[in-house]
């Protein structure tokens, strides 16, 4: 039976002990979806929205990578990891929603799901922050794990 790994036998918070785990190559992919209204979308030039603060998507990519690198400082009891790679892409789906995908990799004793989720989340929040001058009608509607590999159990979102 599964139990909460961040609680000890007395029910107190604890960091998960990974000292006995094997080192393996770990990968996680996460996605955030942002809905921008037409007022914001009219400001697109090329592949980005230009603001007084700079290119929205370019800034969101940098912010997302920075966020992923700081996940251990942001999420209580999360292990601090030295990511080996973090890659963020931003584009549109068929419904004209902004799709942010963050892939994080490391060779370690613990996975990088939280780093990928944090990277996608921070990129989405940065898009919101930079576009709110045009309109507050922005929806961050979904943040989800798409895939994780390495370690004890793999996961891939069911389509």
Between the alpha carbon of residue 131 and those of residues 26, 43, 156, the distances in Å are 34, 10, 32
Do 11 and 97 meet the contact criterion of CB atoms below 8 Å apart?
no
The span from the CA of 159 to the CA of 156, in Å, is 9
Q: With 0-12 CB in 10 A as exposed, 13-18 as middle and 19+ as buried, what is 61? A: buried
Q: Residue 148, exposed/middle/buried by CB under 10 A (0-12, 13-18, 19+)?
A: buried
The residue annotated as part of the active site, out of 17, 48, 129, 154, is: 129
**What is the Cα–Cα distance from 116 to 95, expressed in whole angstroms?**
24
- Quick one: which of 82, 80, 72 has its CA closest to 107? 82
Domains, the chain, in order of start with CATH, read 24-149 (3.30.70.640)
Q: How high is the pLDDT of residue 154?
A: 85
Residue 8 catalytic?
no
Exposure b/e, 96-108, CB count within 10 A at least 16 = b: eebbbbbbbbbeb
Per-residue pLDDT of the chain (159 residues; tens, 9 = 90+): 467 888 888 888 888 889 888 999 999 999 999 999 999 999 888 888 888 878 999 999 999 999 999 999 999 999 999 999 999 999 999 998 999 999 999 999 999 999 999 999 999 999 999 999 899 999 999 999 999 999 888 889 887
């Amino acid at each position: 039976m599964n139990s909460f790994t961040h609680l000890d036998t007395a029910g107190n918070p604890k960091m998960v002990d990974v000292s006995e785990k094997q080192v393996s190559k770990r990968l996680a992919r996460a996605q955030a979806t942002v809905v921008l209204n037409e007022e914001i979308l009219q400001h697109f030039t090329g592949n980005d929205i230009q603001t007084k603060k700079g290119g929205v998507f370019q800034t969101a990519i940098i912010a997302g990578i920075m966020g992923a690198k700081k996940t251990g400082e942001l999420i209580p009891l999360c292990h601090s990891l030295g990511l080996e790679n973090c890659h963020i892409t931003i584009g549109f789906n068929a419904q004209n929603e902004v799709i942010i995908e963050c892939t994080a990799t490391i060779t370690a004793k613990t996975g990088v799901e939280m780093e990928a989720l944090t990277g996608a989340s921070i990129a989405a929040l940065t898009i919101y922050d930079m576009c709110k001058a045009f309109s507050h009608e922005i929806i961050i509607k979904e943040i989800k794990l798409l895939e994780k590999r390495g370690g004890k159990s793999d996961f891939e979102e069911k389509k």
